[in-house]
Amino acid sequence: MAEVLVYVDHVDGAVRKPTLELLTLARRIGEPVAVALGSGAEATAATLAEHGAVKVLTADAPEFTDYLVVPKVDALQAAYDAVSPAAVLVPSSAEGKEIAARLAVRIESGIITDAIDLEAGDEGPVATQSVFAAAFTTKSRISKGTPVITVKPNSAPVEAAPAAGAVEALTVSFSAQATGTKVTARTPRESTGRPELTEAAIVVSGGRGVNGAENFAIIEALADSLGAAVGASRAAVDAGWYPHSNQVGQTGKSVSPQLYIASGISGAIQHRAGMQTSKTIVAINKDAEAPIFDLVDYGVVGDLFEVVPQLTDEVKSR
Ligand code: FAD
């Protein structure tokens, strides 16, 4: 069976969920070979094996943390040269997309970014994408070189599929460009204790209807009762009520959770672009004609200042 390279996103050996989702998709098109880099790379092996990795290629070097993405591209290319895979899958994070794009240029292959599904095809893997502000779903495959595909978080289930997970050290020789851009400082973002927006199973978002930064406390309370991430429309972000890092939409983040709750958000096309692929959509809006109601599974016509706290109390009481 053909091998499929899976780039591992991990924090000190703790594998992040989007990588486990990639393993589910990789198993549909071949045998997953994982590539884990940096501090804690070897510690990822057990989790990766539990989810179907037949082999885990690891490398650690100061270059992976001291410089921007090029050393990681060098390592992924070394894995590509060693394995000659049928496809390369990378999580669709900002860094993942840069790594994938750079690799695709180097190996002269086509690339598909932000896939939301992947299946085997007669002429190579077929990727599904949601395009033009989620107005269309396309299926495409790469016709040149080895497919390089980035996949959005929450696009596939995490499945247990025990495999060998044999650990092998990867030999990497860094290119001249690897040390071109040095990291001079890292500033950890203040932790809210909530899940990362793009990876969260539930997202509760607030828009202009929230009517002030201080009122986002009721959105946060509902989010916390559900273990959810908090999102915001651009109107709320532009008003300075919530950080841009939480903006959902065309010029913000793209989310695809199991449940998306939009409060005081009208449903402009640019907002839809970032949340339309959510599995279940709930909207709370006092205007029964708001366009958001065209795409919801459940809609509540009402004042969010009454509905959201009631919902929070109800969730907490269960
Ligand atoms: P509004 O459209 O003003 O809607 C507010 C809603 O709240 C209304 O439907 C109202 O009925 C309801 N409401 C008010 N009070 C209450 C209450 N008490 N209880 C219940 N409901 C209430 N937008 C994004 O969100 N993300 C993007 O990434 C983004 N990118 C953009 C890129 C470009 C190039 C452009 C041109 C626009 C972009 N926008 C984006 C902006 C987008 O067009 C809309 O302006 C924005 O999404 C509107 O935000 P909103 O729904 O919060 O506000």
Average pLDDT over residues 174-202: 92
Banded pLDDT at 289 (limits 50, 70, 90):
very high
User: For residue 301, is pLDDT > 80?
Assistant: yes
301 C-beta closer than 6 A to ligand 1: no
Going from the Cα of 113 to the center of ligand 1, the distance in angstroms, rounded, reads: 27
User: For residue 131, is pLDDT > 90?
Assistant: no
Task: Write out pLDDT tens, residues 56-89.
Answer: 999 999 999 999 999 999 999 999 999 999 999 9
pLDDT, the chain, mean: 96
**CA–CA distance, 137 with 148 (Å, rounded to integer):** 19
Spatial CA neighbour of 88 closest among 3, 170, 6, 1: 6
Report the relative pairing of strands 55-59 and 126-131 from DSSP bridges: unpaired
Return the pLDDT at 133.
72
User: For residue 178, is pLDDT > 90?
Assistant: yes
Average pLDDT over residues 254-275: 95
Spatial CA neighbour of 208 closest among 245, 234, 236, 246: 236
Which segment of 8-17, 33-42, 51-60, 125-134 scores lowest on mean pLDDT? 125-134
**Protein residue with its CA nearest to atom 52 in ligand 1:** 207
251 C-beta closer than 6 A to ligand 1: yes
User: For residue 182, is pLDDT > 80?
Assistant: yes
Return the pLDDT at 125.
97
Residue type, 188: P
266 C-beta closer than 6 A to ligand 1: yes
Handedness of CA 174, 178, 180, 182 (dihedral sign): negative
Query: What's the alpha-carbon Rg for the chain, to the nearest Å?
Result: 21
6 close to 17: Cβ distance less than 8 angstroms: no
208 C-beta closer than 6 A to ligand 1: yes
3-state secondary structure of 84: coil
Looking up tokens 């598909």 gives: 112
Return the pLDDT at 190.
82
User: For residue 135, is pLDDT > 90?
Assistant: no
210 C-beta closer than 6 A to ligand 1: no
Atom of ligand 1 nearest to the CA of 211: 15
User: For residue 120, is pLDDT > 80?
Assistant: yes
Task: Write out pLDDT tens, residues 15-25.
Answer: 999 999 999 99
Return the pLDDT at 8.
98
147 C-beta closer than 6 A to ligand 1: no
**Protein residue with its CA nearest to atom 39 in ligand 1:** 270
Return the pLDDT at 202.
98
- Within the chain, strands assigned E span 3-7, 10-11, 14-15, 31-37, 55-59, 87-91, 111-119, 126-131, 136-140, 148-151, 166-169, 202-206, 229-232, 259-263, 280-285, 298-301
Task: Write out pLDDT tens, residues 207-260.
Answer: 999 999 999 999 999 999 999 999 999 999 999 999 999 999 999 999 999 999
State the pTM of this model.
0.87
Beta bridge partners of 248: 253
Return the pLDDT at 287.
98
Atom of ligand 1 nearest to the CA of 208: 52
Return the pLDDT at 188.
84
Number of H helices, E strands in the chain: 9, 16
308 C-beta closer than 6 A to ligand 1: no
290 C-beta closer than 6 A to ligand 1: yes
Return the pLDDT at 132.
80
